[in-house]
Amino acid sequence: MKNLIIDIFLVLFLLSSLMVVLEKDLIRALIFLAFSSIFLILLLYLYRAPDVALTFSIVSTGASTVLFIAIIKKLEKFGYDRDSV
């Protein structure tokens, strides 16, 4: 049963990571990046590395997502148009 859960999380992680690369809208790509980080955190926890999962969750899902959103908002302020991509 545990192997099935790990396989599902691996597939979800790969699909969300693929969507990060293929998505043209930066906000949607950022959402997929957050989902791939969450799936990786769950995989780390299932592989019995809760300390690594906790550290990765703080850095990846928290700080990086907020930083990327701030950068995208600054880009829009300087003329980046999300609809033109």
* Residue 31 CA neighbour count, 13 Å, CB half: 5
Q: Find out whether 40 and 11 touch, Cβ atoms under 8 Å.
A: no
Q: Which domain holds residue 53?
A: 2-84
pLDDT 10s digits, 34-74: 899 999 999 999 999 999 999 998 888 778 878 888 888 88
* 78 SS3 class: coil
Instruction: Give me the chain's average pLDDT, please.
Output: 88
Asked if pLDDT for residue 10 goes beyond 90, the answer is: yes
Query: Structurally, how many domains does the chain consist of?
Result: 1
